[in-house]
Amino acid sequence: MTKADLVEEVTKLGDLTRRDSEVIVETIFDSVIGALRSGDKIEIRGFGSFRIRQRKPRIGRNPKTGTKVEVPAKKVPYFKPSKELRDLVNPGGKSPASPESGDAGTTAA
């Protein structure tokens, strides 16, 4: 789903123009970005939470030349889905690799 698809979905929900829907979607995205920039955590119950994780500096490798490159410390956005969202995406409640499914750890002989 793209941003345009999301705007279209919001437009379908009520008596909104496409422009009003664009403003709503942009406002939500700008609010999330602004909160993350200021170091706040965003929690949307039933959906998930957004936060910033700090990555340490490290030595990387240029894949083309193989030379070592210093990668500076940086902040990266992180999303953790809620249990409700995970359950909606995975109906039935069991992941394919769970031991309860009966086929984990068995091999065809």
Q: What is the pLDDT of residues 25-84, one digit of tens each?
A: 999 999 999 999 999 999 999 999 999 999 999 999 999 999 999 999 999 999 999 999
Question: Within 13 A of 54's CA, how many CA atoms are on the CB side?
Answer: 4
Does 100 map to a domain? no
Say if residue 1 is exposed, middle or buried (CB neighbours under 10 Å; 0-12, 13-18, 19+): exposed
Say whether 107 sits in a helix, a strand or coil: coil
Does 36 map to a domain? yes
Does 11 map to a domain? yes
**Predicted local confidence at residue 106, as pLDDT:** 47
CATH code of the domain in which 87 resides: 4.10.520.10
Our count of domains for the chain comes to: 1
User: What is the pTM (predicted TM-score) of this model?
Assistant: 0.69
What domain range includes position 31? 3-92
**Residue 8 — φ and ψ, nearest 5°?**
-65, -40
**Residue 56 — φ and ψ, nearest 5°?**
-80, 155
What are the C-alpha distances in Å from 78 to residues 21, 32, 38, 43, 55?
26, 12, 15, 12, 11
Helix (DSSP H) and strand (DSSP E) numbers for the chain: 3, 5
Does 32 map to a domain? yes
The residue count for the chain: 109
